Chain A
Amino acid sequence: MGALMVIFSLQKDQRRKRTDSVEDELELSAVRHRPEGLEQLEALTRFNRKELQILYRGFKNECPSGVVNEDTFKDIYSQFFPQGDASKYAHFLFNAFDTNKDGSVSFEDFVMGLSILLRGSVQEKLNWAFNLYDINKDGYITKEEMLDIMKAIYDMMGKCTYPLVKDDTPRQHVELFFQKMDKNKDGVVTIDEFIDCCQNDENIMRSMQLFENVI
Chain B
Amino acid sequence: MAAGVAAWLPFARAAAIGWMPVATRPMPVPPREKKKSQDQGLLVLNVSGQKFQTWSNTLERYPDTLLGSTERDFFFHEETNEYFFDRDPDIFRHILNFYRTGKLHYPRQECIAAYDEELSFFGIIPEIIGDCCYEEYKDRRRENQERLQDDEDDEKEDVAPLNMTFREYMWRAFENPHTSTTALVLYYVTGFFIAISVMANVVETVPCGTLPNRAKEISCGDRYALAFFCLDTACVMIFTVEYLLRLIAAPSRYNFMKSVMSIIDVVAIMPYYIGLVMTDNDQVSGAFVTLRVFRVFRIFKFSRHSAGLRILGYTLKSCASELGFLLFSLTMAIIIFATVMFYAEKGSTSSKFTSIPAAFWYTIVTMTTLGYGDMVPKTIVGKIFGSICSLSGVLVIALPVPVIVSNFSRIYHQSQRAEKRRAQKACKEAGQLLVGKPNIPFESHHHHLLHCLEKTTNHEFIDEQTFETNCMEVTMVNKSGSRTSSMSGSSSPHGLSSCCSRRHRRKSFSLPNSNNQELSTIQIRERPIVNSRSSLNAKPDFETVPLKSGHSYVTSSVVTLPPAASSLLTSSDNGGSSSSTCNYSQSNIVRVSAL
How many Å lie between the Cα of A158 and that of B427 in the bound state? 30
A140 contacts B by Cβ under 8 Å: no
Which A residues lie at the B interface, using CB under 8 A?
A: 1-3, 5-6, 9, 48, 50-51, 54-55, 57-59, 61-62, 76-77, 79-83, 89, 92-93, 96, 110, 113-114, 117-118, 125-126, 128-129, 132-133, 149-150, 153-154, 156-166, 168-169, 172-173, 176-177, 181, 194, 198, 203-204, 206-215
How many Å lie between the Cα of A204 and that of B109 in the bound state? 59
* From B24, B399, B459, contact of A6 by CB (8 A): B399
How many Å lie between the Cα of A76 and that of B519 in the bound state? 25
8 nearest A-B residue pairs (beta carbon): A2-B399, A58-B7, A213-B516, A61-B3, A160-B467, A117-B14, A161-B459, A207-B27
User: Is the Cβ of B16 less than 8 Å from the Cβ of A211?
Assistant: yes
Contact with A along B445-486 (1 / 0, CB 8 A): 010011011101111111110110011001000001000100
How many Å lie between the Cα of A3 and that of B7 in the bound state? 54
Q: Considering residues A3, A126, A207, which has the most beta carbons from chain B within 10 angstroms of its beta carbon? A: A207
- Please name all residues of chain B whose beta carbon is closer than 8 Å to the beta carbon of A92 when the two chains form the complex: 18
User: Is the Cβ of A125 less than 8 Å from the Cβ of B17?
Assistant: yes
* From B329, B446, B512, B561, contact of A212 by CB (8 A): B512
User: Is the Cβ of B14 less than 8 Å from the Cβ of A163?
Assistant: no
How many Å lie between the Cα of A133 and that of B19 in the bound state? 10
How many Å lie between the Cα of A193 and that of B4 in the bound state? 40
Q: Which of B6-21 contact A (CB under 8 A)?
A: 7-21
User: Is the Cβ of B3 less than 8 Å from the Cβ of A58?
Assistant: yes
A91 CB → nearest B CB, Å: 12
User: Is the Cβ of A110 less than 8 Å from the Cβ of B11?
Assistant: yes
User: Is the Cβ of A62 less than 8 Å from the Cβ of B2?
Assistant: yes
User: Is the Cβ of B10 less than 8 Å from the Cβ of A203?
Assistant: no
- Please name all residues of chain B whose beta carbon is closer than 8 Å to the beta carbon of A164 when the two chains form the complex: 470-471, 474
User: Is the Cβ of B18 less than 8 Å from the Cβ of A129?
Assistant: yes
- Please name all residues of chain B whose beta carbon is closer than 8 Å to the beta carbon of A173 when the two chains form the complex: 22, 24, 457-458, 565
How many Å lie between the Cα of A76 and that of B1 in the bound state? 9
User: Is the Cβ of B9 less than 8 Å from the Cβ of A163?
Assistant: no
User: Is the Cβ of B456 less than 8 Å from the Cβ of A153?
Assistant: yes
User: Is the Cβ of A129 less than 8 Å from the Cβ of B20?
Assistant: yes
- Please name all residues of chain A whose beta carbon is closer than 8 Å to the beta carbon of B529 when the two chains form the complex: 79, 82
Task: Determine the residue in chain B with the shortest Cβ distance to A55.
Answer: B10
Task: Determine the residue in chain A with the shortest Cβ distance to B524.
Answer: A58
* From B10, B461, B568, contact of A158 by CB (8 A): B461
B247 contacts A by Cβ under 8 Å: no
- Please name all residues of chain B whose beta carbon is closer than 8 Å to the beta carbon of A149 when the two chains form the complex: 22
B5 contacts A by Cβ under 8 Å: yes
User: Is the Cβ of A160 less than 8 Å from the Cβ of B533?
Assistant: yes
User: Is the Cβ of A215 less than 8 Å from the Cβ of B10?
Assistant: yes
A-B interface pairs (CB < 8 A), number: 211
User: Is the Cβ of B396 less than 8 Å from the Cβ of A157?
Assistant: no
Additional A-B contacts beyond A114-B10, A208-B17 (5; CB < 8 A) = A51-B519, A80-B446, A129-B17, A153-B457, A214-B10
Query: A3-B399, A211-B17 given as contacts; is B519 within 8 A of A61 (CB)?
Result: no
User: Is the Cβ of A153 less than 8 Å from the Cβ of B22?
Assistant: yes
B566 contacts A by Cβ under 8 Å: yes
User: Is the Cβ of B449 less than 8 Å from the Cβ of A82?
Assistant: no
Size of the chain B interface, CB-CB below 8 angstroms: 83
B139 contacts A by Cβ under 8 Å: no
Query: A54-B521, A158-B461 given as contacts; is B25 within 8 A of A76 (CB)?
Result: no
- Please name all residues of chain B whose beta carbon is closer than 8 Å to the beta carbon of A159 when the two chains form the complex: 467
User: Is the Cβ of B519 less than 8 Å from the Cβ of A211?
Assistant: no
Contact with A along B369-411 (1 / 0, CB 8 A): 0000000000000000000000000011111100100000000
How many Å lie between the Cα of A84 and that of B80 in the bound state? 52
A–B pairs, 21, beta carbons within 8 Å: A9-B403, A50-B519, A54-B521, A58-B7, A58-B524, A61-B2, A61-B3, A61-B7, A82-B529, A93-B15, A110-B11, A157-B459, A160-B463, A161-B461, A164-B474, A173-B457, A173-B458, A176-B24, A203-B24, A204-B23, A210-B452
User: Is the Cβ of B564 less than 8 Å from the Cβ of A172?
Assistant: yes
Q: Considering residues A2, A110, A158, which has the most beta carbons from chain B within 10 angstroms of its beta carbon? A: A2
User: Is the Cβ of B513 less than 8 Å from the Cβ of A161?
Assistant: no
- Please name all residues of chain B whose beta carbon is closer than 8 Å to the beta carbon of A81 when the two chains form the complex: 450, 453
Contact with A along B479-510 (1 / 0, CB 8 A): 01000100000000000000000000000010
Task: Determine the residue in chain B with the shortest Cβ distance to A59.
Answer: B7
Query: A50-B519, A162-B584, A215-B522 given as contacts; is B459 within 8 A of A153 (CB)?
Result: no
B332 CB → nearest A CB, Å: 8
B217 contacts A by Cβ under 8 Å: no
How many Å lie between the Cα of A153 and that of B509 in the bound state? 24
User: Is the Cβ of A207 less than 8 Å from the Cβ of B20?
Assistant: yes
A110 CB → nearest B CB, Å: 7
- Please name all residues of chain B whose beta carbon is closer than 8 Å to the beta carbon of A163 when the two chains form the complex: 459, 480, 484, 566, 568
How many Å lie between the Cα of A99 and that of B395 in the bound state? 63
B87 CB → nearest A CB, Å: 27
- Please name all residues of chain A whose beta carbon is closer than 8 Å to the beta carbon of B474 when the two chains form the complex: 164
Query: A129-B17, A214-B10 given as contacts; is B565 within 8 A of A166 (CB)?
Result: yes
B26 contacts A by Cβ under 8 Å: yes
Task: Determine the residue in chain A with the shortest Cβ distance to B581.
Answer: A162
A174 CB → nearest B CB, Å: 9
Task: Determine the residue in chain B with the shortest Cβ distance to A113.
Answer: B14
User: Is the Cβ of B565 less than 8 Å from the Cβ of A83?
Assistant: no
- Please name all residues of chain B whose beta carbon is closer than 8 Å to the beta carbon of A153 when the two chains form the complex: 19, 22, 453, 456-457
Q: Considering residues B26, B449, B484, which has the most beta carbons from chain A within 10 angstroms of its beta carbon? A: B26
B333 contacts A by Cβ under 8 Å: yes
- Please name all residues of chain A whose beta carbon is closer than 8 Å to the beta carbon of B2 when the two chains form the complex: 61-62
A73 CB → nearest B CB, Å: 10
- Please name all residues of chain A whose beta carbon is closer than 8 Å to the beta carbon of B520 when the two chains form the complex: 213
* From B14, B395, B456, B462, contact of A2 by CB (8 A): B395
Task: Determine the residue in chain A with the shortest Cβ distance to B403.
Answer: A5
- Please name all residues of chain A whose beta carbon is closer than 8 Å to the beta carbon of B8 when the two chains form the complex: 58, 62, 76-77, 80
User: Is the Cβ of B457 less than 8 Å from the Cβ of A207?
Assistant: no
How many Å lie between the Cα of A48 and that of B521 in the bound state? 13
User: Is the Cβ of B10 less than 8 Å from the Cβ of A62?
Assistant: no
- Please name all residues of chain A whose beta carbon is closer than 8 Å to the beta carbon of B532 when the two chains form the complex: 82
- Please name all residues of chain A whose beta carbon is closer than 8 Å to the beta carbon of B22 when the two chains form the complex: 149-150, 153, 173, 177
How many Å lie between the Cα of A212 and that of B517 in the bound state? 8
A210 CB → nearest B CB, Å: 6
